[in-house]
Amino acid sequence: MIDSEGHVLTNNHVVEGASQVSVKLSSEGNAYPATVVGAEPDSDLALLQVQAPADQLHPLTLGDSAGMEVGDPVVAIGNPFDLERTVTSGIVSALQREIQAPNGVTIDNVIQTDAAINPGNSGGPLINADGEVIGINSQIETGGSGSEGNVGIGFAIPIDTAKEEIQRLEQGGSSQSGGEAQPGAAFLGISGTSITPELARAFNLPVGEGVLIQQVLEGGPAAEAGIQGATQAATVEGTEFGLGGDIVTAIDGQPVATIEELVAAVDSARPGEAIELMLIRGESTATVSVTLGEQPRSGEAQPLE
């Protein structure tokens, strides 16, 4: 629950294909009808609105997932194996992970946790030590043993990503037609990771914030403009990063500090529109013009930003 108007944030795969949706509020145990306000298969997020009495609506505070660090304590809440109101605890075991949405599109900057997450936890909150939601529990790693249970590795979509999507979800999100990208969505064709001060120190990067390009889609708009991805890999605290790629520091003259800001800027543009990216490559700085393409259908091409 994210506000006093009854909006509930969950995973798209929890409600996809449902003809009827209801939400049970643990404060009294009653189930109330809900409608799907918007869904975004590419980020596996959905926004519901539950028709419940105002005194039963108790929203949680949304935190800042960008401020989380490996080792921070977290709590997951959900209904694993239909065991309602289950709470498990753990730590942030890695950051900057990538997972695939059920439709095959890559979701970046995912939080990895060792808090026990099992089938039935999907859509539930991952909460920090201050009681703030910093992620939406979405997937688990089963280890390929045939078991569907927890093996100590779960993944949560960061709440910062969800915040970027909420306005779009309030307007209906993209069509729920097998994850096809919303018509007219702009496409850059890269994947990247946000540069933090810690990352900058660890790899001696020339800036303390910006977007470090990891991959460039062959034949995509960024590749056509000459933007370069990582050429080598390095690992810090169990998280692998690609190094040697271009660093984006601004778009159309406006500073870019995180991958979320870059994605938001691309999302606000239209296919065929030219944008200017300020890049750092080695010891040089350059401004590159990129003509954005149209977002391909989900699963046709990755990365998606």
Catalytic residue among 7, 13, 43, 174: 13
7 counts as catalytic? no
Q: Which tokens go with 265? A: 């800027």
For residues 213-239, one letter each, b for 16 or more C-beta atoms within 10 angstroms of the residue's C-beta and e for the rest, the string is: bbbbbeebbbbebebebbeeeeeeeeb
| Residue 283, token pair as written in the block | 């010891």
Other CB atoms within 10 Å distance of the CB of residue 273: 12
* Host H or E run for residue 167: helix 159-170
Cβ atoms of 119 and 11 within 8 Å: the answer is no
Q: Pick the catalytic residue: 43, 122, 174, 191?
A: 122
C-alpha span between 29 and 94 (Å, rounded): 35
Cα dist. 80→46, 47, 91, 277, 283 in Å? 19, 21, 18, 44, 51
Identify the active-site residue in 7, 43, 44, 194. 44
Q: Is 284 part of the annotated catalytic residue set?
A: no
Catalytic residue flag (residue 13): yes
E strands, 51-143, where?
A: 73-78, 86-100, 106-113, 125-128, 133-140
- By annotation, the residues acting in catalysis are 13, 44, 122
